[in-house]
Structure 1
C-alpha cells in the first residue's frame, strides 16, 4: 500500500466518522427535547404529589360518616332538651309579663 492509498482510505474513514457524528447529532436532537419535556413533567409530578399529600393530611382530620352521624344524634338530643326547656320557661315568662303589668299599673297610680 502506498501512502496515497492510505490517505484515500484514511480520508474515507474520516468522512464516515464525520457523517456518523452528524447523524448522531441529528437523531439525538429529538432526545434533548424529550429530556427537557420529561424534566418538566417530573417537576409537575412532584408538585402534584405534594398537593395530594397535603390534601390527604387534611382529610385525616375530617370526621368520618359514623362521627357525623353521632354528631347529628347529639344535636337532635340537644334540640329536644331546648324544646323542653322552652316549655319550662313559658310559665316563668307569663309570670314576668304579669309582674311587669302590675308594676306599670302601680307606676301610673
Structure 2
C-alpha cells in the first residue's frame, strides 16, 4: 500500500508543479513585457529631459519682462525725440524754402 500512496502523491505533486510552472511562466512573461515597456518609457524620459534642458538653456538668454518693459520705455522716449526733431526740421525746411524763393526772385 505504501507504493500506491507514494504513486498518488507523486502524481499530485507533478500536477501541482506543472501548474506552478505554468503560473510562473505566465507571471514572468508579463514581467518581461513590462520590463521592455519600462525600458522604452525610460528612453523617452531621458529624451524629454534632454529637450527640457536645451529649452531651459535657451530661455536663459532671452530677455525678461523687466528688460522688455525697459525697451518699451526707451522706444517711447525715442519716438518723442524723433517727433521734436521732425518739428525742428519742418521749421528749417520752411525757412530754406523762403530763402530759396527770395533768392529766385532776386536773381531774376
**Both structures adopt the same fold (TM-score exceeding 0.5):** yes
Distance between the aligned counterparts of 2:46 and 2:97, measured in 1? Answer: 69
Q: Is the deviation greater in 92-101 or in 62-71? A: 92-101
TM-score, structure 2 normalization:
0.70
Distance between the aligned counterparts of 1:72 and 1:39, measured in 2? Answer: 50
Instruction: Write out the 4+ residue segments of structure 1 that deviate beyond 3 Å after TM superposition.
Output: 5-22, 95-103
* Two-structure CA RMSD over aligned residues (Å): 3.1
TM-score, structure 1 normalization:
0.70
Gaps of 5+ in 2: none
Cα gap change, 1:10/1:75 in structure 2, threshold over 3 Å: closer, same or farther? same
Cα gap change, 1:101/1:33 in structure 2, threshold over 3 Å: closer, same or farther? farther
Distance between the aligned counterparts of 1:63 and 1:20, measured in 2? Answer: 65
Distance between the aligned counterparts of 1:99 and 1:82, measured in 2? Answer: 25
Q: Is the deviation greater in 34-43 or in 94-103? A: 94-103
Residue 27 (structure 1) aligns with: 27
Count residues with an aligned counterpart: 105
Distance between the aligned counterparts of 2:22 and 2:74, measured in 1? Answer: 78
Q: CA shift at 1:57, angstroms?
A: 0.9
